[in-house]
Structure 1
């Protein structure tokens, strides 16, 4: 199942984000969840990060929530708010994330 993880940064955490980025990035590739797409949410002018958006495949919400709880950005206080929600892509989406040929 696909899960969308929407994370908003706390105030004044740019340096903490930079210091923990490598560990956070390594965790994305750890195999705990299967990342599909991820990246920074940025200010409207693109000038600075305001959060993260991560789309993953995982068996259930609990797996995703455990994954998030142990992410360096969560542990170090970069993220102030995280929302996890099940995601189903539209049949009309111009980009397909799941194999529909089976």
Structure 2
């Protein structure tokens, strides 16, 4: 099954909104099988000092880009407007 890298940067000033919807986002991520995908890895992007979350990074195994798009569209961070720039790119694993 193909892999997709999801790189989502928070909108400027979205940290309070991120924190407000963080529990819902975490619970949602556990529903990956509802969308026919498998999250291989995921976690928050952070500032260099590790103090502030600035976005999200996922590596997702999915049957299609459309399945990843549907998952992203339903994520509470998308629905609440936390993420600004979202990039989804097919990924070819060479190592690991």
Aligned pair partner of 1:36 in 30, 40, 62: 40
Q: Deviations over 1:53-83 (max 9, x none)?
A: 0111110001101110111001101100100
**1:18 alignment counterpart:** 19
Q: Alpha carbon RMSD of aligned pairs, Å?
A: 1.0
Q: What's the offset of the Cα at 1:4? A: 0.6
**2:3 alignment counterpart:** 2
What residue ranges of structure 1 are gaps of 5+ in the alignment?
Answer: 97-102
**1:99 alignment counterpart:** none
**TM-score, scaled relative to structure 2:** 0.89
Between Structure 1 and Structure 2, whose CA radius of gyration is higher? 1
Alignment of 1:46-57 (within 5 A): 46-57=50-61
Structure 1 segments (4+ residues) deviating >3 Å: none
Higher relative contact order, structure no. (Cα contacts within 8 Å, ≥ 6 residues apart) = 2
Point out the structure with the larger helix share: 2
What CA distance in whole angstroms lies between the structure 2 residues aligned with 1:4 and 1:51?
Answer: 13
Count how many residue pairs are aligned between Structure 1 and Structure 2.
92
Aligned pair partner of 2:75 in 63, 71, 74: 71
